[in-house]
């Protein structure tokens, strides 16, 4: 978790590599093995001649992992959203989004041509009001762990509402899959509502340590996406060597090693929160993301620079990634962080807080 540049080094507390797999020797070896077996590239789009056995094996393994009939892989999580949502809903239908949904989900909703309705973040009463008046096919879209705030969606309650009103539910588990739930299957599985989620979206570039994205769903939905998801059809397939390495990553995540890494990552976050809780008010962390709210963009830039001078890589997050007046440092922890690094970060954040005065 060390970043080096220009003769300096920083401890990286901004990466989404939650399990520390991106630099693992096992994945490096798997990628080399994949190149030796399958070559460097796929050669074409999936529907021309770019589908290799490694792609199909990965998709079968992901479907088994997520407990669905089938799965489809894409070049990125953004591509999953752009391909899936417009393929399933369109003009005359309704998409209901949480206010804090990722930009990829918002862009996909706009691209679909469906009527878009937005409910305040995790506001169940507003969600139900929107569901009660929605027209056409209705798709509710939320993240399980929100990327900028690190909090969790009330998935059990959302599942109840979508079933009550006959809607579909898409859950983006980008920041939960690999990290939360049994075998790292995500928050929905951890809450026992994964079977009621219609569309499981996730990335392969965070806890998986590589790159790509997937959609896990019924066989009928996946067959439809193969024929209608434009971000799947009209792009060169990801290298089969990458799919091969992702199979290794999935095996690691599902096994005993994954349990150890999940415990380490979540333990590091809990340790950080404990060390900050003396003078600062933090609740129990939902995952591995901790927002250090500053509000003013100038203050956030200054704080990022201060943390950089102290030896921590922590770029500030500001508009348009978050709302105006909601600038922050987005702190992420990994299984790869040491106890000493966590302690040093907590001390630096306390000093930063004292320098800023009362932010609360």
> Percent of the chain scored above 70 by pLDDT?
97
Q: Looking at residue 285, what is its pLDDT?
A: 87
What's the whole-number mean pLDDT along residues 162-189?
98
Q: Can you tell me whether residue 138 is helix, strand or coil?
A: strand
Sequence-separated (6 or more) residues with CB below 8 Å from residue 311: 9, 10, 11, 344, 348
What's the whole-number mean pLDDT along residues 45-59?
97
What's the whole-number mean pLDDT along residues 98-112?
98
> Would you say residue 353 has pLDDT above 50?
yes
> Quick check: 230 and 83 in contact, CB under 8 A?
yes
What's the whole-number mean pLDDT along residues 29-43?
96
Q: Looking at residue 181, what is its pLDDT?
A: 97
Structure token pair of residue 137: 């096919």
The active-site residue out of 12, 122, 147, 249 is: 147
- Specify whether 143 is catalytic: yes
Q: In this structure, which CATH number among 3.90.1150.10, 2.40.30.200, 3.30.70.2080, 3.40.50.2030 belongs to the domain 2-18+257-356?
A: 3.90.1150.10
Q: Looking at residue 358, what is its pLDDT?
A: 45
Q: Distance of CA 304 to CAs 11, 309, 358, Å?
A: 13, 9, 18
Q: What digits encode the pLDDT tens for the residues 305-320?
A: 999 999 999 999 999 9
- Specify whether 123 is catalytic: no
Domain ranges in the chain are 2-18+257-356, 24-254
> What CATH architecture applies to the domain 24-254?
3-Layer(aba) Sandwich (3.40)
Nearest to 143 by CA among 249, 286, 291: 286
- Specify whether 206 is catalytic: yes
- Specify whether 102 is catalytic: yes
What's the whole-number mean pLDDT along residues 54-76?
98
- Specify whether 24 is catalytic: no
Q: Looking at residue 168, what is its pLDDT?
A: 98
Q: Looking at residue 282, what is its pLDDT?
A: 64
> Would you say residue 26 has pLDDT above 80?
yes
> Would you say residue 279 has pLDDT above 80?
no
What's the whole-number mean pLDDT along residues 91-104?
97
Sequence-separated (6 or more) residues with CB below 8 Å from residue 229: 72, 74, 83, 84, 87
Q: Looking at residue 135, what is its pLDDT?
A: 97
What's the whole-number mean pLDDT along residues 126-140?
98
The active-site residue out of 52, 66, 102, 244 is: 102
- What is the pTM assigned to this prediction? 0.94
281 band by pLDDT with thresholds 50, 70 and 90: low
The active-site residue out of 98, 143, 198, 297 is: 143
Report the alpha-carbon distance of residue 9 to residue 255 in Å, rounded. 33
């Amino acid at each position: 978790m060390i970043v080096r540049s220009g003769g300096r080094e920083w401890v990286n507390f901004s990466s989404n590599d939650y399990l520390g797999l991106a630099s693992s020797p096992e994945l490096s070896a798997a990628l080399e093995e994949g190149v030796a077996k399958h070559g460097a590239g796929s050669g074409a789009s999936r529907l021309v001649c770019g589908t290799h056995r490694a792609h199909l094996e990965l998709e079968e393994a992901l479907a088994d992992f997520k407990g669905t009939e089938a799965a489809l892989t894409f070049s990125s999580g953004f591509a999953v959203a752009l391909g899936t949502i417009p393929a399933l809903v369109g003009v005359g239908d309704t998409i209901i989004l949480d206010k804090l949904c990722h930009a990829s989900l918002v862009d996909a909703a706009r691209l679909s041509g469906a009527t878009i309705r937005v409910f305040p973040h995790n506001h169940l009463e507003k969600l139900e009001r929107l569901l009660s008046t929605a027209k056409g096919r209705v798709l509710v879209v939320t993240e399980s762990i929100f990327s900028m705030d690190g909090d969790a969606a009330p998935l059990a309650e959302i599942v109840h509402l979508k079933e009550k009103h006959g809607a579909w539910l898409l859950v983006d588990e980008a920041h939960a899959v690999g990290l939360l739930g049994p075998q790292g299957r995500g928050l929905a599985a951890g809450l026992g509502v994964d079977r009621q989620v219609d569309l499981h979206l996730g990335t392969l570039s965070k806890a998986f340590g590589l790159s790509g994205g997937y959609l896990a769903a019924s066989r009928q939905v996946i067959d439809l996406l193969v024929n209608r998801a434009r971000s799947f059809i009209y792009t060169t397939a990801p290298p089969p060597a990458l799919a091969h390495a992702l199979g290794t990553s999935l095996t690691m995540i599902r096994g005993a090693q994954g349990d150890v890494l999940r415990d380490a990552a979540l333990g590091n976050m809990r340790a950080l929160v404990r060390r900050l809780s003396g003078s600062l008010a933090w609740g129990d962390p939902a995952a591995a993301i901790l927002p250090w709210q500053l509000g003013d963009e100038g203050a956030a830039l200054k704080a990022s620079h201060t943390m950089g001078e102290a030896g921590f890589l922590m770029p500030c997050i500001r508009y348009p990634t978050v709302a105006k007046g909601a600038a922050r440092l987005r702190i992420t922890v990994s299984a790869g962080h040491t106890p000493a690094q966590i302690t040093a970060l907590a001390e630096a954040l306390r000093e930063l807080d004292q320098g800023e005065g009362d932010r609360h």
